[in-house]
Amino acid sequence: MKVTPKVNLIRYTADPEATVALAAKLCYSDRELPELTEHIMEKDNSAFISKLTDMGHLSPIEHASFTFSIEGVSRAFLAQITRHRIASFSVRSQRYVSEDSFNFVVPPAIEELGGAAVARFLGQMDTIMDWYRDWQSALGRGEKSNEDARFILPNACETKMIVTMNARELMHFFELRCCNRAQWEIRAVAWLMFGEVIKVAPNLFRDCGPACLHGACPEGNKSCGKPDEVKKMRDELFKNIKKG
């Protein structure tokens, strides 16, 4: 069955902006921690968080972490997101979990070709499922058969995962992966993740997004040339949160 990305923020540091503010102010305050904590929790920290990010004082931001469930993505996506090494990943195993009726991702470029092309792709997925089941049967089924039968599976095969990143790494992730030059699937997931975190920490992530939003595009002559469209997309996410 064809699937599309689904992202949920399932856990995060309690009051992430206050946690970041506490960590930053501790560096310069002579107050005892209980007093400082009470002071931080009683006030609005939005202006201080904005000042902190404007200054580039980002180490305190690492104290806030966010955990996402991600599904409806391909094994090709898995290869890309795990390049972000300052993160934790737990991924559904193709060794312990049978893929004899696997879901899959259809690339947009194939969908744009129309019905005949999509039908051809779906038929190929069905063929691969048959090949996979054939190897499972030949290998005796069970964990050992899954282990080797999976070598026939395509990059399109769906996977599910839990991903945790701290806020500073998320900023870096959004800078790289929300860019129009990023591969389409990880870009789509990055924007979904961005939409989730700004619901709970809008001040922390207010200026996040591709590098072109803060200056010249680092892609040079390979730039998409659409920074205004990207900024509009980001602004729309914040507008939707305020409406909600």
Which amino acids are annotated catalytic? Answer: 177
Specify which residues 164 forms β-bridges with. Answer: 67, 88
- 3-class secondary structure for the chain? CECCCEEEEEEECCCHHHHHHHHHHHCCCCCCHHHHHHHHHCCCCHHHHHHHHHHCCCHHHHHCEEEEEEEEEEHHHHHHHCCCCCCEEEECCCCCCCCCCCCECCCHHHHCCCHHHHHHHHHHHHHHHHHHHHHHHHHCCCHHHHHHHHHHCCCCEEEEEEEEEEHHHHHHHHHHHCCCCCCHHHHHHHHHHHHHHHHHCCCCCCCCCCHHHCCCCCCHHHCCCCHHHHHHHHHHHHHHHHHC
Measured in whole angstroms, how far is the alpha carbon of residue 229 from the centre of its chain?
21
Q: What angle do CA 107, 87, 199 make, to 5 degrees?
A: 75
